[in-house]
Chains A and B, each alone.
Chain A
Amino acid sequence: NAGVMQNPRHLVRRRGQEARLRCSPMKGHSHVYWYRQLPEEGLKFMVYLQKENIIDESGMPKERFSAEFPKEGPSILRIQQVVRGDSAAYFCASSPPTGTGVNYGYTFGSGTRLTVV
């Protein structure tokens, strides 16, 4: 039973390029959360999705960032026209359909480390 799978593990992009980060939740989990971890800062919530629905995107920057969780396939976090300040570790977490992550433990992936040069 594989855990939460994220890829790529490391991603290097030049300023202005697009970054696509993928997350496959644990088997049986239908809730996906994206968090960002900047150096020396805590994890910051970005977005909460269920299949084909964005439930809460209150933590997403208003521009350049988008997320989706299609009926088939992984959840995608997309960052357009990346800037140096986007360099961070991006973590995906999932939780089962019987409860949200706040009242169950999240299962996190190993993260994607984005470096913008």
Chain B
Amino acid sequence: SQKIEQNSEALNIQEGKTATLTCNYTNYSPAYLQWYRQDPGRGPVFLLLIRENEKEKRKERLKVTFDTTLKQSLFHITASQPADSATYLCALAQSTGNQFYFGTGTSLTVIP
């Protein structure tokens, strides 16, 4: 099965700065990689999906990169705001599978 590692420690950044979260994986290269946001006591909320043949995806203040050589995805939040404080999860799937393998998440706190 896939092993996924996200920043194990919580990330604290100043409002207005860019937050960068990492997701590293071992074993096979996934066909799809997704990022989710999860607030305490809530279900994950889908943010972005990137496919294996894509290097970068953007959505408003969010940017995801996917490097299949390094087996790594980076998730950036530019001009961060306190409302961006949450846990961010990365999830990987093969093209033939029905399930995602989730990382344990990185807790982000944006300090006003």
Contact = CB atoms under 8 A, between A and B. Distances in A.
B99 A107 contact: no
Contacts of B32: 102-103
B104 to A, nearest CB: 5
Q: Which size bracket describes the interface of A in this complex?
A: 20 to 34
Given A102-B32, A105-B34, A105-B46, A48 B104 contact: no
Given A102-B32, A102-B97, A104-B49, A42 B102 contact: yes
Interface in B20-76: 31-32, 34, 36, 41-47, 49, 51
Contact of B103 (A42, A48, A58): A42
Contacts of B45: 108
Interface residues of B, number: 28
Nearest to B46: A105
A50 to B, nearest CB: 10
B89 A33 contact: no
A109 B104 CA distance: 18
Interface of A: 4, 6, 33, 35, 40-45, 48, 55-56, 58-59, 91, 93, 100-111
23 contacts: A4-B43, A33-B98, A41-B104, A42-B101, A42-B105, A43-B89, A43-B102, A44-B102, A45-B99, A45-B101, A56-B99, A58-B99, A91-B43, A93-B43, A101-B100, A102-B98, A102-B100, A103-B31, A105-B34, A105-B49, A106-B36, A106-B100, A108-B46
